Amino acid sequence: MADTFLTRRTALMATAAATAAFAAAPSFVLAQEVPKPSGTVDMDKLLEPGALSEEVLGPEDAKVTIVEYASMTCSHCAHFHETTWPTLKKDYIDTGKVRFILREFPFDPRAAAAFMLARCAPEGKYYPMVDVLFDKQKDWAFVKNARAPMENIAKLAGFTQESFEACLTNQKLLDDINAVRERGASEFGVDATPTFFINGKKYSGAMSVEQMSAIIDPLL
């Protein structure tokens, strides 16, 4: 009888220990998923004015500033803006916790053209235009003729045939976009997209909401 009791008690203790270990496991796994920065840059230098005016969302006095370098033809960038961006904007930017800046880092002429259209969009429509271009990326970025689908997207955003043509033939705008890219590469070591600077710490690659939150929350 005593042996049976000891066996049952031992089994119960083992089960309790296993349950506790299992309950603790998710925290350990999540901790392992937190991205580590690959470097650090000076925030004052990062936020110095460049060739183009900044497209900023969120308050200037936010505790966290995120600068993203992206290419409009980058599938990883599109995935980030499809999956992580909506929650990041709703929970952190719209609530005043984060200031967000998107900077152009086009890898090819189509990406540059897409950024040109976003820059030419009506005032306050830069980010909505970027969202649509990422959402429709497969329709224009990887097809033989990109002009027609890009023109259709632009017209839905309020462009006329004339303003569409004028935007894409604006050499100064193209030069300024390329200057933003060159500065990102030469001064801040950007060599892939997306690249994020979160309060000066550099992270490369698309991140999930959970990974972003794990970085941001301790800074708030």
Per-residue model confidence as pLDDT tens digits over 133-146: 999 999 999 999 99
In this predicted structure, the answer to whether residue 67 has a pLDDT above a threshold of 80 is yes
pLDDT of 195 over the 90 cut: yes
- 203: tokens are 């992270």
Average pLDDT of every residue of the chain: 89
Q: Residue 124 pLDDT > 60, yes or no?
A: yes
Which pLDDT does position 171 carry in this prediction?
Answer: 98
Q: What are phi and psi of 129, to 5 degrees?
A: -70, -45
pLDDT at 24: 44
Helix (H, G, I), strand (E, B) or coil at 144: coil
Residue 22 binned pLDDT confidence (cut-offs 50, 70, 90): very low
pLDDT for res 35: 86
Work out the angle at residue 170's Cα, subtended by the Cα atoms of residues 48 and 131, and round it to the nearest 5 degrees.
65
pTM of the model: 0.84
Between CA 121 and CA 159 the distance in angstroms is: 8
Confidence at residue 87, expressed as pLDDT on a 0 to 100 scale: 98
- How much of the chain, in percent, has pLDDT values that exceed 70? 85
- Exposed, middle or buried, 41 (CB in 10 Å: 0-12/13-18/19+)? middle
Flag whether pLDDT at 2 surpasses 70: no
| CA 215 from centroid of its chain's CA atoms | 13
- For residue 34, what pLDDT is reported? 82
Q: Is the pLDDT of residue 30 over 90?
A: no
